[in-house]
A and B are shown apart, each in its own frame.
Chain A
Amino acid sequence: MPDTVVSLQDTRLSLSGNAGMVDILKGIDLQVTRGETLGLVGPSGSGKSSLLMLVGGLDRATGGQVRVLGHDLTSMGEDALARLRRQHMGVVFQSFHLIPTMTALENVATPLELAGRRDAFDRAEAELEAIGLADRARHYPAQLSGGEQQRVALARAAAPRPDILLADEPTGNLDGDTGEAIMELLFGLRDRHGSTLILVTHAPDLAARCDRVVRLVDGRLSDAAVQDAAE
């Protein structure tokens, strides 16, 4: 099996906005290999989040191909996509998106439960312990600080040991020090589980820690800016 886990070919996305159709992604070609950490940078509104959503199967491309772990996402039904995510993908958002009616523990346990793990709650507890939030397990999101919420979200995404972690500016809403801590956690998880990580970020120092960085400008990958950060 080739080690390409994400493969985009001429991927396009158009959305109907107030002023008619808007082309958001205008033909993206991109390969991500197993274990790689890819940084996705670009100006605001260039389509970074949109691209990440497509890779996560949370939105449907209007043109081209999106292949993840050998599956053609464009031809899959919504439930099939959900099952794929359940087994292989974890997503972290800028604004956390914890379920407000569930406690921290329940939030972390949910994807494990959906994946049919009998020990979902024990695993979730361990996961929270690992990020130092064991004493907050029974709190609801509204009772947690922003940094704590993001750590819970991170634990939730990482708990099922996904092959691919997608993170969309996970520190964007947090102050410097807290953001730093979250990033340490994120990279730690990647290292421990050997996940592939696609990270959307504005911060140059974070981009610098990625194996490779691609730059998105106005819905296209800007060749000039593609760089190999590592080697």
Chain B
Amino acid sequence: MSLTVAARIARRELRGGLRGFRVFLACLALGVAAIAAVGSVRQSIETGLQQEGATLLGGDAEIQLTYRFASDEERTWIDDNASAVSEIVDFRSMAVVTRDGETERGLTQVKGVDAAYPLLGEVRLDPAMPLAQALNGTQDLPGAAMDPVLVARLGIAVGDRFRLGTQDFVLTAALIREPDDAGGGFGLGPRTLVRTEALQSSGLLAPGTLFASAYRMTVAAGTDMARLETQATGALGGSGLRWRDSRNGAPGVGEFVDRLGAFLVLVGLAGLVVGGVGVAAAVRSYLSEKTGVIATLKTLGATTHTIFLAYALQIAALTGIGIVLGLVLGALAPLALAPVIEARLPLPAVFGIHPAPLAEAALYGVLAAALFTLWPLARTEQVRAAALFRGAATSRLLLPRWPYLLALALLLAALVGAAAWLSGLARLTLWSAAGMTAAFVILIVVAAGLRRLSRRLARSRAVRGRSALRMALGSVGGPGSEAGSVVLSLGLGLTVLAAIGQIDANLRGAIARDLPKVAPSYFVVDIQTDQLDPLLTGLRADQQVSRVETAPMLRGVISRINGRPAAEVAGEHWVLQGDRGITYSAAPPNGTQVTAGQWWDEDYSGPPQVSFAAEEAAEMGLQLGDRITINVLGRDIEAAITSLRNVDFSTAGIGFILSMNPAALAGAPHSHIATIYAQPEAEARLLSQIGNAYPNITMIRVRDAIARIGEVLRGIAAATTYGALATLVTGFIVLIGAAAAGERARTYEAAVLKTLGATRRAILLNFALRSAIFGLAAGVVAIAAGGLAGWGVMTFVMETEFSFEPVSALAVVTGGALTTLAAGLGFAWRPLSARPARVLRARE
């Protein structure tokens, strides 16, 4: 009964159109759109990864081995179980070009393939030609295709020669696209594609060199991949093989996209919350305009319930419109930007309308709208019929009755719960929610305090005679003050931005800071045992080389801990992901800090012992005496942990998680690594000297490697900043909304002040001071809260040091203050230019 009446009232009230609701709609639509867009892009990529899983993998399934090719037994199993097989080797090396007596060198990730490659998809070359033709090369030289970036760096052209190890190749084409390049931009060097056979005489695949081999298989359609995996590990198990199949073609990448996407959705949610403040303000000002109507309805006998319902229905209808607008925008924007996004992604993406992320965005929209409009709506109950005869509405902050408070709490819990559940980042979500709520409460308290303080200051003798300041303070502290809405919206927006600014600056700072003061110039790998002594002798005689460190290196996979599969014991710890470098040493190397247990005797030759990195051991729950099984080159070695030591990975020096006694690894073919500390001006000379003398050796410029890692981190920071852009724009709209809402009041005030003899300058100064006061209060809170949030994220999520970044903070606050000022002044134009007579007459 009351519902139909309420619906009728609602319809009549909305007949006036949506003009008064622009801010409401914009805030809601923008917040929903940002979340929907981020979610859609993420879904597009995930769908792409799924659909292209097999192609990305290069086959239906893949068995990966490190450091060796498959044994005959393994190869037989693979051939028996696959309809087609392709063998791949992959390793880092240097591509060398000699031109006019000068040598040019470039780090490259070499991929050797057989004739069956690629099993799926197609290799694109420039000039276009079949892969076989490109790799066959010329009569006397094998061919190679190379990443255009490397082609340019080496300054060569199609038809030119270059060298890998001791083997010459002719460049036959630029490699435009590998179908199985899920890692894409994430690899350490640009790609060179050759025939594996052609590498036989390069000296690069000698035992002990760091290479990985992979056996891609296609299988009959409908094969149960999970069963095949079990069979493979059963038949070949324990030999250090890694299995991947098309169920998850690009695991690392998929996870990365997933987490980054979830994080950006959270950033979008922060934007929605900022928009929520605008939504709340819009509803409050709409309802305060309706005070007369509500009072009249009450005198006519409408119950509070009916009235609440009537306005709730209007808000619900508007929320629906806002969300639909947001969804349309959020779904279409990625489609429109698809070509741009695709060009920048090293990943396949299937752009389209994805219902799941849209539903998620809509859910957030509904919950946020309900959360932010319920309180203002509850105030309709507090309108007394007598309001009709007492002009101004009370501006006191009245708490709604308990059922509303309960509903508010439930809505908040639902919103946070949904975000925690759907993002999969529960901890981060809860912390963010707690942070936002804290900022919210702080800002409300600060706004109230600001009003009190302003009121008191306006009365103080100190401002007597400074009329503009006194008037500004008076209006900040007086009835109908905008302090609440402006400080809240501006403060929340700035807090989010300040937090992101701090995180961003700290991330960048961490990259620069964690770069060691004395980083080595080169990280050298693949040094053969017989090359080690001559190399070291040469380097130690070099005046410009200050230090050289070397260590033997093998690679292995930790397969079991105390006899149980390692993953069962230590979960998904990074030390268990893939293979690890292992070294051996008779005595603890210089500077080693053994924190527990004891290093073996120099001539120890009993059962294998291992010294484990202390921090990682603690994280994995390993203790002295635990036994770990390490698969090295297909051979299982079980060793007891007899000591723990500190390993510092931040210096870019040599650091191994695992170090064993020499006898344990005796006979296993291996190479050595070295770090060379040299003066920067000697770097180019060293590269060519060592490169010429030892063609098989790969030298990685540490500066380049760090720069690449920095690039990835900066990319993440940039994505975050873009995400924050939605928050910024929303905050801006909220501010404009607040400024516009106050325009009528200011126009009237300006007219009266003019009547009393105020010049436009004095009035403008008064308005500007108000904005400045708001901007300052919001800015101070934002710096404090943003700094705190930044500290929390850096300390607990990134687990690195936090240092307060004043420049970023200052930029945020200045920007915020200027924006408020601009919005305030922009909306002062009408008040200032209006003739007082017209304004006052309209109020007669």
- Asked if B58 is at the interface (CB within 8 A of a chain A CB), the reply is no
> Which residues of the partner chain B approach A83 to less than 8 Å between Cβ atoms?
757, 759
> Which residues of the partner chain B approach A116 to less than 8 Å between Cβ atoms?
465
> Which residues of the partner chain B approach A78 to less than 8 Å between Cβ atoms?
754, 760
Contact present for B844 and A99 (CB under 8 Å)? no
Chain B contact residues, majority secondary structure? helix
Query: How many A residues have CB within 8 A of the partner chain?
Result: 40
Give B201 Cβ to nearest chain A Cβ, in Å: 89
- Asked if A115 is at the interface (CB within 8 A of a chain B CB), the reply is yes
Contact present for B755 and A85 (CB under 8 Å)? yes
Give A100 Cβ to nearest chain B Cβ, in Å: 6
- Asked if B758 is at the interface (CB within 8 A of a chain A CB), the reply is yes
Contact present for B754 and A58 (CB under 8 Å)? yes
Checking B480, B755, B759 against A101 with a beta-carbon cut-off of 8 angstroms, the contacting residue is: B480
Chain A 103-142 interface residues, beta-carbon cutoff 8 Å to B? 103, 106, 110-111, 113-116, 118, 120-121, 140, 142
Chain A 54-95 interface residues, beta-carbon cutoff 8 Å to B? 56, 58-60, 78-79, 82-87, 91, 93-95
> Which residues of the partner chain B approach A142 to less than 8 Å between Cβ atoms?
390-392, 479
Checking A56, A99, A101, A113 against B481 with a beta-carbon cut-off of 8 angstroms, the contacting residue is: A101
- Asked if A46 is at the interface (CB within 8 A of a chain B CB), the reply is no
Give the CA-CA distance A41 to B754 in the complex, in Å.
26
- Asked if B453 is at the interface (CB within 8 A of a chain A CB), the reply is no
Give B449 Cβ to nearest chain A Cβ, in Å: 18
Segment of B266-274, B468-476, B620-628, B672-680 engaged in the interface with chain A? B468-476
- Asked if A102 is at the interface (CB within 8 A of a chain B CB), the reply is yes
Interface residues on B, range: 35 or more
Q: A58-B840, A87-B757, A114-B762 are in contact. Are A97 and B752 (CB under 8 A)?
A: yes
> With contacts defined as CB atoms under 8 Å apart, how many contacts are there between chain A and chain B in the complex?
106
> Which residues of the partner chain A approach B749 to less than 8 Å between Cβ atoms?
99, 101
Chain B 812-844 interface residues, beta-carbon cutoff 8 Å to A? 835-838, 840-841, 843-844
Contact present for B465 and A118 (CB under 8 Å)? yes
Q: A101-B481, A106-B474, A140-B479 are in contact. Are A86 and B465 (CB under 8 A)?
A: no
- Asked if B48 is at the interface (CB within 8 A of a chain A CB), the reply is no
> Which residues of the partner chain B approach A84 to less than 8 Å between Cβ atoms?
757
Give A164 Cβ to nearest chain B Cβ, in Å: 13
> Which residues of the partner chain A approach B759 to less than 8 Å between Cβ atoms?
79, 82-83
- Asked if B703 is at the interface (CB within 8 A of a chain A CB), the reply is no
- Asked if B540 is at the interface (CB within 8 A of a chain A CB), the reply is no
Give the CA-CA distance A134 to B341 in the complex, in Å.
70
Give the CA-CA distance A83 to B836 in the complex, in Å.
14
Contact present for A100 and B392 (CB under 8 Å)? yes
Give the CA-CA distance A58 to B761 in the complex, in Å.
17
- Asked if A53 is at the interface (CB within 8 A of a chain B CB), the reply is yes
Give A84 Cβ to nearest chain B Cβ, in Å: 8
> Which residues of the partner chain B approach A95 to less than 8 Å between Cβ atoms?
843-844
Checking A58, A86, A160 against B836 with a beta-carbon cut-off of 8 angstroms, the contacting residue is: A58
Nearest-CB residue, chain A, relative to B844: A95
- Asked if B513 is at the interface (CB within 8 A of a chain A CB), the reply is no
Q: A94-B844, A95-B843 are in contact. Are A114 and B837 (CB under 8 A)?
A: no
Chain B 737-756 interface residues, beta-carbon cutoff 8 Å to A? 745, 749, 752-756
9 closest A-B pairs by beta carbon, nearest first, are: A86-B757, A59-B837, A101-B478, A142-B392, A53-B837, A113-B467, A79-B759, A58-B837, A111-B756
Q: Which residues of A contact B (CB under 8 A)?
A: 49-50, 53, 56, 58-60, 78-79, 82-87, 91, 93-95, 97-103, 106, 110-111, 113-116, 118, 120-121, 140, 142, 156, 160
Q: Which residues of B contact A (CB under 8 A)?
A: 390-392, 458, 464-465, 467, 470-471, 474-475, 478-481, 745, 749, 752-762, 835-838, 840-841, 843-844
8 A–B pairs (Cβ distance < 8 Å), ordered by A: A58-B836, A59-B835, A93-B844, A100-B479, A106-B474, A110-B756, A113-B464, A156-B756
